[in-house]
Structure 1
Amino acid sequence: MKKHIILLLLAITILSGCQDQFAPADDSHFTFENVYKDPTFAEGLLLNAYTALPNIYGFSFNDVATDDAVSNDKSNDYRRMATGQWSAQFNPMNQWDRSYTAIMYLNKLLVESDKINWAPISGEKVSQLYNSRHKGEAYGLRAYFMYCLLQAHGGYDAQGTLLGVPVITAFLENISDFKKPRDTYKDCLTQIYADLSEAEKYLPTDYSNISDASQMLPMYASLGVDVDSYNRVLGDYNKQRMTARIAKGIRAKVALMAASPAYGQESWENAAKYAGESLKLVGGISGLDPQGGLFFLGSNVDKLDILAGKDQGEILWRGSISKSRSLEQNNFPPTLYGNGRINPTQNLVDAFPMANGYPISDASKSGYDPTKPYDGRDPRLANYIIYNRSSFSNKVIYTENEGGNDAVDKISTSTRTGYYMRKLLRSDVNLNPSLLTDQNHYSVHIRYTELFLAYAEAANEAWGPDGKGTNSYSAREIIAAIRKRAGISQPDAYLASITGKDDMRKLIHNERRLELCFEGFRFWDLRRWKESISESANGVKIENNSYTVSAVENRTYSNFMYYAPIPYQEALKLDLVQNAGW
């Protein structure tokens, strides 16, 4: 946490396209008084928090710290932590500085927002619209950053008390103000829920242009603003900013984490309820995007048009679209001019069932042939992972020993496991130095498949495979829809054979592993489930059509590492109780 939050950083030149604009100050020396006068600078408090949001295109890929992936980069931080270097002083999972800095910006906005003239030209009524929207956004964002902190730093102290992080809802300027003890996990949870409720009070379900005053939200209709002003503040232009819909998705994520065995601070019934409330907004199972599992492909990304209100049905919350090739530069196989950084493990490959739905471990029913290990598999395997003799970017990739630079350990940028990552990559990016081509990418914060899986997990724990609570669908029905979309042969005999909660739990956990691979979930899922975190990361070597599986990298974790540490310097500086074992 910083000693001071430098407010002068707010003098950024980011402008809100729908915000009133007027002449700048007489000189370039800004004080906080400028924030009260100029809404552009005031909104900088909010925009700084948006900028700090984590996303799956951060090129970190913490899957490397699990049994799902390794990296061929010896300096990779997640590789280092997984092989014994993780400590309170070296913690690639640290969310402390970024999250608390964002929270400080948001706290300052919440303190000052009522004093700011948000629309100096358009008048008080429009200013009130902006004020309410910005406060709703701030509450929702603060809840999300608190979730990040709780996930990354919540844990038990040496006395067995489950602690969260310090709950800070005021703007703090001096280091002495930060010396606040850790609140309990439950207190943090209460604060997150309260902030999300406030966000929902102020924000629309979605930002959408209206054509008639009768369509205004009731709390804003009483202000007497005209339709054009309403659309300027709460219309299409603001899509992908915080909304009540997004707040519901965050609540579902938080409740699932809190209900899990590692914490046990929320009921599974409530976790299912919150996920169900979010899914109702898309029509339940009928709202599962048929292309949701392939959300990263160009055919899905390029059709997005935020101004026209078009987006994938899969995406609940995302960032902006930009053209780049860095993701592909890092992860394409070397024969495609890439660095092959993220290497899926044999462990993950083995988790994909056969196309008939049976796990490959069921020799009698699956039809799995270890001499032809990639034949007849769940189509998601080919969609997410490049294996030997896969076709990718108009080229056949050979990882077998005779296969050139794409083979295992052939050169420094070759795979270590016999596999390359395919998911998230655009095959129409060209890295050939003479034909360089960028393509559209966007950051993802929450997609609906995550929420469908959250509901399935919570519903199964609460009511078993076929219980529905107050909802119209069960865990089994959700998993059936996801597996059907994936291409599992129908009817799904394996799913039909499951009768108990325990077996359904195993299937749901595995479906979550497959559907969300390489998106930063596996590390935290294993820990909240209290499942093994020390499985070795395995790979395969192929020579003369013979497949030899062996450990590529051992995982060096102790049981106390189910919970990540408080940063050493913060614990020391602020006299914070450390999680046990660190």
Structure 2
Amino acid sequence: MRNNKSLLIFFFVTLLTSCDKDYLDIVPDNLATVDLAFSNRYNAEKYLATCYSYLPNESGINQNPALNSGDEIWYPDTQRNSNGPTVAQGFQNISNPRFDYWVGSWGGKSLYIAIRNCNIFLENVESVPGVDQFVKTKWTAEVNFLKAYYHFYLLRMYGPIVINDEAISVSASTEDTRVNRNTLEESFEYVIATMDKAITGLPETLQFEDEEMGRITKPIAAAIKARILMEYASPLFNGNPVYNSVKNAEGKQMFPTSFDASKWQRAADATKVAIDLAESVGISLFQKEDYLDPLEQNDTTLLKSALRSRVTERWNKEIIWGSTEFSSFLQFSAMPRLYPYTTNPVASNHAPTLRIAEMYYTENGVPIEEDVNYDYTNRYKTKQASGKDRFYIEPGQKTAVLNFNRETRFYADLSFDRGVWFGNGRELDTDPWYIRARRGEFASIFEINNHSVTGYWPKKLVSMKTTVKSGTDFSAYRYAFPIIRLADLYLYYAEALNEVKGAPDNEVYRYIDLVRERAGLNGVVSSWAQFSKDPSKPTTKEGMRDIIRRERMIEMSFEGNRYWDLRRWKLLEQYMNKPIRGWSVLVNDLDDYYTVRVLHNPTFNQKDYLWPIKEEELINNPNLQQNPGW
């Protein structure tokens, strides 16, 4: 049994150390407090819970920058001063940075304080009386994982970081505490080595799941190590010439100046190890056959339901590591109004952009702009749904051509005007909800700050068991929001192998095709050969790179991967300097509604690839240097 099945009820938060603003790893002068914390098993486990308590809330709209800081989601104007939209609009700053995980403000927790607590735990765990060495070894491995993960979280955001590997004595001189940032390669190698140390001591599965819910296991650590190495190998950090002139206060080169192909091989090797380990303990893709259907639906509806459940099914065997924070607010923000209410029970303002709707494949498994059979030129015009469209669109109703003849993930992940919605008490093919989203209809604007500004909703994030009852009672079904799942690893592996090899081969195709097959699509080679205007695209390294990247953006949509992926691929400048668009949702007339509207023209600069360090920190520690451009 795996820990991702359960809620983190074991880890109640009991903070035993002060949460000051000093990110340095200083042993508190009240040593009696530390002695008490490790005086018995009960107190030590509470301190262990403290180390876990700093894990960022991955389902938190104002805590996870990847949910809404890019081009994937957009909000009404009145909501665009919150953290993610502020970053997406180009308004990040050095005085009070949004999602500040260095100091700990604006949705971020100070991960340096988290690392301090981890170091204190590691220095004292062996002194806890009455605890078996096996348990101490496991605790040590868990905290080494957390320490590595917190360093990586900072590294991914800020680039070169300050490595805090042990506590600094309170008697240390002022100069000793004015530390420099380590180089990027030192930072990555430290995180990888610490993760390796954790992996050796972690169990493959939990022995007592009821008592250890939410605890780290070997498959989790191996999967996150794969993610770390993918970041290390990718263009942003692997010989990016933009950073060639960046040096620290001592004159040391902070970024590698040349591309290192061996980093892709390391990433491929680590990802394969993680895949094999995950599969060996029963982790597998969540298939149509795994969806427990009480109503004997047809295959089309079953596939839609299973694909939606790959994220929202609580007992999902695909999720390697899931956040145990309650995703209620995320679901509240993502759910459309399904019928007229007297009040506003859902916000409906977490809206996918038109670019995301266009990203998904056609029913033939190729991009809409490449499919020889798809009416791409007329995609913004309207068309009436017939009986054959009934599993996706309300028969007899008109919607955009863009919403017809798409792959099943489009309909599992997105909701739109006249689209089908299962859940909220309705799961029968013959009796679904239909979204009515034009001005004056129940899914349209209810309040100026609570509506979809694009005309789309991320259905993928809302469990079919989440309900609105009696018009006002919103009841969210609790599930583990995925931090990393098996499909993620499959696509990482295909990407890394493609970069290692001179040309894609059957192994590269195999791992992307496993994800496509689960989605009801044919393999890459056959799909492109039959339906693409560029049938040889999968046969070249460059063509396959584009295919794998698009597959990742489709499969992992709305889960906080797109932003980090575009960033590590060094593509955010390409995507974030184009207009954010949606339908003209404030009108009722059919043709006017399906007129493309520009919502914002964002600006993304080279400096935005790395988070700024808060200005106050640079004043406190003159040895720290700000990130380039800030």
Q: Which runs of 5+ in 1 are unaligned?
A: 1-6, 13-28, 120-125, 155-163, 209-231, 305-311, 468-472
Q: CA deviation digits over 1:101-153, x for unaligned, max 9?
A: 1111110011111112153xxxxxx2x12211111111111111111010011
Q: 1:148 to 1:425 in 2, by over 3 A?
A: same
Please say if 1:93 is aligned against 2:67. Answer: no
Please say if 1:117 is aligned against 2:121. Answer: no
Query: Could you state the TM-score of these two structures normalised by the residue count of structure 1?
Result: 0.79
- CA drift at 1:280: 1.2
- CA drift at 1:400: 3.3
CA distance in 1, matches of 2:414, 2:480: 20
Q: Which moved more, 1:569-578 or 1:439-448?
A: 439-448
Which of 533, 539, 560 is residue 499 of structure 1 equivalent to? 539
SS in 1 for 2:596: strand
- CA drift at 1:288: 3.1
Structure 1 residue aligned with 2:519: 486
CA distance in 2, matches of 1:173, 1:296: 52
- Contact preservation (8 Å) 2:234, 2:568: yes
Q: 1:45 to 1:495 in 2, by over 3 A?
A: farther
Q: Which runs of 5+ in 2 are unaligned?
A: 1-12, 19-30, 105-109, 239-255, 257-261, 291-303, 340-344, 382-400, 425-431, 530-534
Structure 2 residue aligned with 1:46: 48
Q: Which moved more, 1:492-501 or 1:258-267?
A: 492-501
SS in 2 for 1:406: coil
Please say if 1:194 is aligned against 2:193. Answer: yes
Which of 133, 140, 144 is residue 135 of structure 1 equivalent to? 140
Which of 577, 581, 584 is residue 534 of structure 1 equivalent to? 577
- Contact preservation (8 Å) 1:540, 1:548: yes
CA distance in 2, matches of 1:480, 1:398: 35
Q: CA deviation digits over 1:199-225, x for unaligned, max 9?
A: 1222222224xxxxxxxxxxxxxxxxx
Q: 1:399 to 1:86 in 2, by over 3 A?
A: same
Structure 2 residue aligned with 1:548: 595
- Within 5 A, what are the aligned runs for 1:171-570? 171-172=167-168, 176=174, 178-208=177-207, 237-238=211-212, 240-264=214-238, 267-283=263-279, 287-290=284-287, 304=315, 312-320=316-324, 325-334=328-337, 337-362=345-370, 364-366=372-374, 368=376, 370=379, 371=381, 372-392=401-421, 393=424, 394-401=432-439, 404-407=441-444, 411-432=448-469, 433=471, 435-464=473-502, 466-467=504-505, 474-489=507-522, 493-496=526-529, 497=535, 498-531=538-571, 532=574, 533-541=576-584, 543-545=589-591, 547-570=594-617
SS in 2 for 1:517: coil
- CA drift at 1:32: 2.3
Please say if 1:107 is aligned against 2:107. Answer: no
Q: CA deviation digits over 1:361-387, x for unaligned, max 9?
A: 125244555232111101111111111
- CA drift at 1:436: 4.6
- Contact preservation (8 Å) 1:465, 1:475: no
Structure 1 residue aligned with 2:58: 56
- CA drift at 1:88: 2.1
Please say if 1:579 is aligned against 2:623. Answer: no
Query: Could you state the TM-score of these two structures normalised by the residue count of structure 2?
Result: 0.73
CA distance in 1, matches of 2:580, 2:43: 49
Q: 1:45 to 1:445 in 2, by over 3 A?
A: farther
Q: CA deviation digits over 1:293-328, x for unaligned, max 9?
A: 978967986663xxxxxxx32111124486x74333
- Contact preservation (8 Å) 2:328, 2:477: yes
- CA drift at 1:31: 2.5
Aligned residue pair count? 505
CA distance in 2, matches of 1:412, 1:41: 46
- CA drift at 1:43: 2.3
- Contact preservation (8 Å) 1:199, 1:243: no
CA distance in 2, matches of 1:183, 1:260: 19
Q: 1:464 to 1:545 in 2, by over 3 A?
A: farther
- CA drift at 1:439: 2.1
Q: 1:527 to 1:405 in 2, by over 3 A?
A: same
- CA drift at 1:334: 4.5
- Contact preservation (8 Å) 2:101, 2:154: yes
- Contact preservation (8 Å) 2:265, 2:500: yes
Q: 1:200 to 1:453 in 2, by over 3 A?
A: same
Q: CA deviation digits over 1:325-373, x for unaligned, max 9?
A: 4333223224563111211001111101101012111252445552321
Structure 1 residue aligned with 2:394: none
SS in 2 for 1:445: strand
SS in 1 for 2:479: strand
Identity %: 25
Q: CA deviation digits over 1:484-518, x for unaligned, max 9?
A: 21122568633453211111111111111111122
Which of 76, 81, 84 is residue 82 of structure 2 equivalent to? 76
Which amino acid counterpart does residue 87 of structure 1 have in structure 2?
N
- Contact preservation (8 Å) 1:329, 1:338: yes
Q: Which moved more, 1:106-115 or 1:333-342?
A: 333-342
Computed over aligned residues only, the root mean square deviation of the Cα atoms, in angstroms, reads: 3.1
CA distance in 2, matches of 1:490, 1:196: 35
- CA drift at 1:420: 1.7
Structure 1 residue aligned with 2:395: none
